[in-house]
Every structure is written in structure tokens, then in C-alpha cells.
Structure 1
Amino acid sequence: MGCARRRLAVGMSDVTNPALSVLDLVPVRTGQSSAQAVTASMALARRADELGYRRYWFAEHHNMPAVASTSPPVLIAAAAAQTSRIRVGSGGVMLPNHAPLIVAEQFAALEAIAPGRVDLGLGRAPGSDPVITQLLRRSGTTSEVDQFPQHITDIMALVRADGATIHFTSGGEYGVRATPAATGVPEVWLLGSSDYSAQLAAAYGLPYVFANHFAGEGLERALALYRSQFQSSEQHPHPRTFVTANVVAARTAEEAERRALPQLRQFARLRTNKPMRALETIEEALENPSDPLEQSLIEQNRARSFVGTGEEVAAALRDFAARHEVDEVMLSPASGSYASDPLDASPGRTETLELLAAQLSPVH
């Protein structure tokens, strides 16, 4: 259930505060341009850096009117240039859309821009509909889903200082490096919402993140599989994971519910294959009642979200982190905007981060 409905059961002052991170889809609302949406997200990244959040990741989605995070490497570079401490990365790069060498080169360049601060989160889903997937793969240079494990191995080799070696069947070798003289490498994470991704991360000895912010079920099983099957690697001798969550915090529980509604309606529209549009303002969401099916999906998604006052959400996040035995929670700040809010800022999302930082002290 959402935190406002379960707050009576989570008085856990003895639970260690989890570290906090941010997942940003760069939402675009009614009347807002892509440039204004990106400006708002850069301001949010700077504020997360100031507040002590651990990392700031950008998702990859395509051809969605309400989402401007089409190119994580570009957004990561911009955020890296405007922050000084926080880790920046992808949540994630959808590898079937890209050639492994291109991904390796992009993130090697990012590591040179922000040494020691870059995370490369890799996912197996396309991040869009079948038409866009075909357009992304028209050049013939992108990877196939069934080659996902091999391409992860390729990327990890390519970003190393010594690079990778191609062995020709006819004899001979050819060296390949993502960058000429690497002094550091991005940290690779596997992302997913299925048993497959959890087991693959375990087999490769990689950190793993379950996409709980949009997956309806399977979190407990995926984490159990990952931990029980984990194979130690040189970089990661022990399993390492955190969880994601849709979060809205406001000064009052009533205000948080209003702020949460546009994103909840957007998820419901996606699930019912309704035409996508820019994210509604809060006024639009309140003025246009949902049909019964949409309302049912809104309630389901609301039950999996963390919505309430800063104190309520913080208590629920402590409980959530303790229940899943993680020391970090990545927040997808899902707070909507009023029509009167500045187009180049996101006051609701900023307030969510500020209220939770005050309660959970994210600096670790």
C-alpha cells in the first residue's frame, strides 16, 4: 500500500536511514517544451547534488510526448557538468537499441568528463513500441535481445584500459579500445524487472537493480534469486542491489495526493493503450474524471507508490528498505505540476527531494 495508508505500521526509528538516489525520466507537461523540461531536470540534478543524494540516473524512453529522456548519455554529460559530487548515470541504456562499441565509447567519454562518478545501467527492454524499435535498429548496427549477455561482456572489456581483442577465424588479432588511455571505468549495473535479469546479474557478479517503480510484481523473488545465485567477481565480491520507487512528498497528505494524480493517470493510460499525451497539469487531472478501468489501474499504481507528507514517506521508505535488506532507495519523483508552476522548473519534484532529505539525511 501507499505510505499514507500504511503509516500506522511503520514506526521504525531504529532502522538505519537508507541512502537516497534519483531516477529521472525528464517529464514534459502540458504547455512545456523539451528545452524547458530539460532545464527543470538539470535544476533538479543540482539540487539533488546539494542535498547529498548518492546518484542521479536518466532513463531511456522513445517517442513519448510526456518523456524527454531519449538520450541518457547526453543528459548525463549535461548533469555531470552542473554537479560536483553526485554519481551520474543511466537507468538505463536499453542495450538492444545500440551497438556495444558505441555505448562503451559514450560512457568512456563520460568517465573522462566526470572521473569516478559515472554509472552505466544496462537494460534489455527496447524502451518504446515496436515501430520505434524497428527505426532504432534500421542501421543494422544495434544489438539483438538474445545477444544481450555477450554484449554486456563486450562493453565491460571495451571500457577497460587494455580494451578488448578480436580474434579472427582466419588468424590474427585486432585490438579495440573505447578510449585511447582510460584511467577509470564506469560502474556497470544490470537493470530489470524479471527473473532473467536477476540471474544474469548474479552470474556475471554485477550489481543489480529491480525496476520496482513500474513493475507490478516479482521484486522479492528477483532479489532472492540474485542474492542466492550471486557469483563473486573481482570488482564485486558480494551481491549489491537497491530498489526503485515512485515517490511524492508534500507539506500535507492531501497536497501529495493531488501532486501524484497526473503521473498515476499517465501510467493508467499507458496500460490501457490510450493515446499518449504530455503529462497533465494537476488541474487537468482533477477536472477530467477517469473511466472505471482507468480508475482501477490508478488505484493499483497508487497502492505501490509512496505518497504523503515527508515524515510519512520517509517512514515508509525506511520500512521498504529494511524489508528488502537494501541500504539505498532510488526515487522516481512523480510529483505533478500546477498550471501556474514555472515551465522551466519542477517545484513539486524539488519539494519531494527536499522533504525526504530532511527526514532521511541522504549523505553517506
Structure 2
Amino acid sequence: MPALSILDLVPVRTGQTSAEAVASSLTLAARADELGMRRYWFAEHHNMPAVASTTPPVLIAAAAARTSRIRVGSGGVMLPNHAPLVVAEQFAALEALAPGRVDLGLGRAPGSDPVITQLLRQSGTTSDVDRFPDHVRDIRSLVSRDGASLRFTSGGTYEVTATPAASSVPEVWLLGSSDYSAQLAATLGLPYVFANHFSGEGLERALDLYRTGFVPNEENPAPRTFLTANAVVADTVEEADARALPQARMMARLRTGRPLTALESVEEAAGAEKTDRLAAPMWDALRAKWFVGTAADVTADLAAFAERWGVDEVMISPVAGSDRDEPMDRPDARLRTLELLVQRAPVAA
């Protein structure tokens, strides 16, 4: 069994407040820590009724305060939305709060629609997507113990650090789902994560480009990667399928341009699917890429998946939907996925 990690979008379901959704996710983070999982990362998405993970650094700080061992981080910070120095300062502060267990995952996608992207990027040249490689390099320098040096055209330098006296630094990862991100991670000698949970298309080519083009450095002498995957585990296959349906319907809305809503309950999704058949056209394709079933089935499939792609870690996004009467401030369905997996095959952190 590969090491298991968690990617959390802080899902918001029908009738649930943002406060309840965040409380639910922090409970899940604490339990992931107890279960021996390796990492807990928060995504960055904006203006989506079903997603409350808009500010990874805030959520990471809260998760760090409720855990003691698990690595906490971003999956990822969408760098063009933010000034590099601000990102560096935030994660230097997080590293001071939880020394030795902070990951800074950086992405290039906007994490929202064009209108929100423009609102987020009203920050001059820092929002220039074409300068993404430069900004990644800047952040690596800024969070290092030595900081960065600015050289003036008139002569002289100006020293900049993300924090006054760092004793350790966050680990920087590059995230993506394209050839571009894989090649950039290889060129910069950074650890890399392919966003397999989102589409899964192009995985083989991205990993090959990353591994064959990797430029070793002192921090990372060899390529390092793991994969993400959506997972739903339940006591029966039928229950797992039912709990996967709300997320499948959400993915269908995203891909067909339909209005987004809060995540449906299991009962709402089942009732609606009988009439609108929203998820039906893509269900078989999603089911083939997701890990849905009993603990025995999913652990075997995850082990085969990790072996197939030569990774020792899989970061699952636990997308199990909740029944209508389950508590709003607890992640019962998602928690069940984690606990069933670990009970079936305990993992080493």
C-alpha cells in the first residue's frame, strides 16, 4: 500500500454554512494525522458554491494547530493570483508555526472563472502568467535562509527575506496537469504533482517529461512525484457509488457550463439523477478513473495504481457525499473513506 495523503477542497453541501464546512474539514485533518497519513493539502478555488477552500494559508494554519505530525500545505496556491513576496511571507510564517512540516504547492491555473480571475489579479506585473517561472524562482529564494538580493541598475543591492531568522524552510512543489508544468518542474529541479484527480488526461506524457528532463540539485538530487485521485470507500459497492454521485454531478456541471450549486446530499443527487440524467453521460469515464468501492477493492486498486506509475504516495481527494441527516459540522462520509482504507491496509507516514 502506498503512503496516503489528503487533498481537501473543503466541500460545502446543501444547507451547510462555510463555518460548518471548515469545522468539518479541520476534524478530518486531525483524524488524518491520527491515522498516520503523510500530508494534508488545501486547494485554492474561488466563487464556487460547493467549495470553501479559497485561502489555503489560513486553512493550513488552522490545520497545523490541530495536528502534530502530518505535513500540511497547499495543493496549491495559484501563484498568478498573488504577489510572490506575500506568498513567501505567508509560508515562512507557517513554517515558523509548524517547523519541518509545511509544503508550498504552487500552481499556474486561475482557480476560478475569468471575472474572478481579473478581480484577483489587479496587482500589476505580479499577475503576469508569462512570468510564472520567474515568480517560482523568486519564492524559492525569498523563503530560503539567505533570502534574495535585488540588484539596482544604478549599482548596489537590496536584501529581502520572507522572515527575519528562518530555522527551516517550507518544501516547494510544482503542481499542474500539462506538459508545461511537468517540464518547468524538471528544469527547476522541483518535486512535481500531476493533478490526476481533475482529469487524468496526459498523465503518462507528463511523468515521462518530468522524469527524463529532471535537473538535479542539492535540495532535490532526483525527481520526486506522487499522484492525486478521487476516492470514495464504503461498506458496499452500491453505497460507494451512491456517495460518489453528488461529486460526479458537480463535475458534470463544471464540464457542461451549467450553473454551480452547493454539493447535493446523497438523496438529492439520486432523486435528481432520475430525471435530469446529468452525470449519466460521463459516469462510466469518471468511474474508471476514480477509486470507488469497498476497502478491499480500493486498497488493491490504489496499490496497483501506485505501482503502475512508480510512486510511493497517493493523495486522495475523499469526495464521498453525505446523507441528508448527517451532521453539518462533521465529515462522517469522508472520514469513513479514510478509516476504512487505513483499517484495511495501515500505511506508513
Q: What is the match of residue 237 of structure 2?
A: 253
Instruction: Tell me if 1:334 matches 2:319.
Output: yes
Q: What is the match of residue 267 of structure 2?
A: 283
One-letter code aligned to 1:105: E
One-letter code aligned to 2:40: Y
Does the 8 Å CA contact 2:2/2:313 hold for their aligned counterparts?
A: yes
> Following superposition of structure 1 onto structure 2, how do residues 84-233 of structure 1 map, counting pairs within 5 Å?
84-140=68-124, 142-233=126-217
CA RMSD of aligned residues (A): 1.0
Q: Kindly provide the CA deviation profile for residues 159-181 of structure 1, in whole angstroms up to 9, marking residues without a partner as x.
A: 01111000011112111010011
One-letter code aligned to 2:317: S
2:305 to 314, 320, 325: 320
Looking at structure 1, the residues matched to 131 and 84 of structure 2 have their Cα atoms a distance apart, in angstroms, of 11
2:246 to 262, 284, 306: 262
3-state secondary structure, aligned to 1:30: coil
Q: Which runs of 5+ in 2 are unaligned?
A: none
2:41 to 38, 57, 78: 57
Looking at structure 1, the residues matched to 244 and 126 of structure 2 have their Cα atoms a distance apart, in angstroms, of 36
One-letter code aligned to 2:346: S
Tell me which stretches of 4 or more aligned residues in structure 1 moved more than 3 Å.
290-294
Q: What is the match of residue 289 of structure 2?
A: 304
Does the 8 Å CA contact 1:262/1:280 hold for their aligned counterparts?
A: yes
3-state secondary structure, aligned to 1:312: helix
1:237 to 210, 213, 221: 221
Aligned residues: 348
Does the 8 Å CA contact 1:249/1:355 hold for their aligned counterparts?
A: yes
One-letter code aligned to 1:108: A
Give 1:298 shift: 2.9
2:333 to 341, 345, 348: 348
Q: Kindly provide the CA deviation profile for residues 75-109 of structure 1, in whole angstroms up to 9, marking residues without a partner as x.
A: 00000000000000000000010000000000000
Instruction: Tell me if 1:358 matches 2:343.
Output: yes
Q: What is the match of residue 29 of structure 1?
A: 13
Give 1:293 shift: 6.3
One-letter code aligned to 1:198: A
Moved more, 144-153 or 288-297: 288-297
Q: What is the match of residue 8 of structure 1?
A: none
TM-score (norm 2): 0.98
Does the 8 Å CA contact 1:198/1:208 hold for their aligned counterparts?
A: yes
3-state secondary structure, aligned to 2:124: coil
Identity of aligned residues (%): 69
3-state secondary structure, aligned to 1:91: strand
Give 1:360 shift: 2.6
Does the 8 Å CA contact 1:98/1:141 hold for their aligned counterparts?
A: no
Does the 8 Å CA contact 1:272/1:294 hold for their aligned counterparts?
A: no
Bigger relative contact order (CA 8 A; separation at least 6):
1
TM-score (norm 1): 0.94
Does the 8 Å CA contact 2:248/2:286 hold for their aligned counterparts?
A: yes
Instruction: Tell me if 1:274 matches 2:258.
Output: yes
